[in-house]
Amino acid sequence: MTFEYEFEKQKNNMIGIAQRENNHKRNYLFVNRFQAKHIPVSPSKALKLFQKLGEKVYCDYKNKKTTMIGFAETATAIASTVAIHCPDDVYYIHTSRETLPSKYSVVEFKEEHSHATQQILYCKKAEEMLFQSEKILFIEDEITTGKTILNFIEALQKKGIHADFGACSIINSMDKQHRDVFHEKNISLYTLLNWNESISDKLFLDNTIVNEKMKRELPGTVHYMTLYTTVNPRLGCSAKEYQMCCMHLAEQIYNIVCSNTINSILILGTEECMYPAIFTGEYIEKKGICKTVKTHSTTRSPIVPRVQEQYPIFNRISFESLYEKGRKTYLYNLEKYDIVIIVTDAQNYNKTGEQQLLQSLKSYGNETVTIINWRYQ
């Protein structure tokens, strides 16, 4: 069965609707079952979905000096894939909610409906590349009103950056009024799935909420490994160079961790660091040493887990972020695997968050964990 056939057959079931926790701006969110964020999925299936989105845009970006910008945190892997598989090498950068050294100039804007509204584009070499770009493409997982992108464009234009702007997303749920604004501003739109259904406020009433479970024990075996890279997509890079760094990472992880045949393995990304985990998962998947390879990621986004038919989130664990003390993060739909490999690029590594995450993994029967800290040189 080809991915094209599978996508056409399943695209109407690809998206689930889940309840945001304590978000009065918008009480729901789209949960993409193929996206490798909230729900574990085959890494090759996730990357094929992202590549399919890229195919929508490449013909309009041929032989053009292009910068592609991904949005933190959920769209970083989508954007990385679209940029990397562009026939021409493009400049790639993604926004961030992390705090980087103040010597990097920034563009700040608001993601108004989000649980964490502040978005930052760090401009080291990126500012020069943005000024030189003929085209700038924003890459999202979903576009609902387009306000985030319009806010971003306004912030860039205030810095004197002007180009042909475009926006692509897996889901587009914009109404005609919001689409017309983009048309009037000559902002091109590309999408895989147009969502025209309204979301009822009563969708999440009268259902059973699932409580979190946590053991105060650690997995039986925990390995630690520090690997290094010279490329940081938060500061901007050649997309092809980023791909080579991810390939080197995947080779190192495979050679060290995957020496024997394994029945099941989870490659877990952390917050904005999604693509390296998915790429590594696909690399291991292609080697054929493991019957089941799954990947997804931790997230800042609080979602209510429920016992409800077709509801996409059935369990949740919460713990401190690996990136920052006191910041709460989440992991959903956790299961038991023979091996769990955590791929994180947390530079100011939070040991408290690590211990809580390990305890959470143990709660679901995971006894063998390897933590890869991918550090920037």
Q: Indicate the domain borders of the chain.
A: 3-194, 209-376
- Tokens found for residue 55: 């195919």
- Strand 105-110 with 91-94, pairing: unpaired
Q: What pLDDT shows up at residue 115?
A: 47
- Mean pLDDT across the chain, nearest whole number? 90
Question: Residue 55 pLDDT > 70, yes or no?
Answer: yes
CA distance 24 to 75: 22
Do domains 3-194 and 209-376 share one topology? The answer is yes
The label of the residue with tokens 């689930």 reads: 16
Task: Please state the rounded mean pLDDT for residues 61-72.
Answer: 95
- Tokens found for residue 335: 């299961």
Question: Residue 158 pLDDT > 70, yes or no?
Answer: yes
| Nearest residue to 275 via CA among 31, 91, 37, 115 | 37
Which secondary structure element, helix H or strand E, spans residue 295, and what is its range?
A: strand 290-298
| Nearest residue to 155 via CA among 117, 187, 119 | 119
| Nearest residue to 321 via CA among 346, 341, 296 | 346
Backbone angles phi, psi at 183, to 5 degrees: -65, -45
**CATH for 209-376, options being 3.40.50, 1.10.3470, 3.30.160, 3.40.1800:** 3.40.50
Question: Residue 239 pLDDT > 80, yes or no?
Answer: yes
Q: What is the DSSP string of 100-118?
A: --TTSEEEEEE-TTSSS-E
For the stretch 184-217, pLDDT in tens is 999 999 999 998 877 755 566 555 667 777 778 9
Question: 16 to each of 28, 39, 122, how far by Cα in Å?
Answer: 10, 11, 33
For the stretch 275-308, pLDDT in tens is 999 999 999 999 999 999 999 999 999 999 988 8
H helices present in the chain, as ranges: 3-10, 43-54, 76-84, 126-132, 147-158, 176-184, 239-257, 275-287, 351-363
Backbone angles phi, psi at 244, to 5 degrees: -65, -40
Interior/surface letters 194-229, b for 16+ CB within 10 angstroms, e for the rest: ebeeeeeeeebeeeeebeeeeeeeeeeebeeeeeeb
For the stretch 360-370, pLDDT in tens is 999 999 999 99
- Please confirm whether the linkage preceding 73 is cis (ω < 30° from 0): yes
Residue 26 or 338, more confident: 338
Contact 33, 39 (CB under 8 A): yes
Residue 209 or 344, more confident: 344
Architecture of domain 3-194: 3-Layer(aba) Sandwich (3.40)
Contact 14, 32 (CB under 8 A): yes
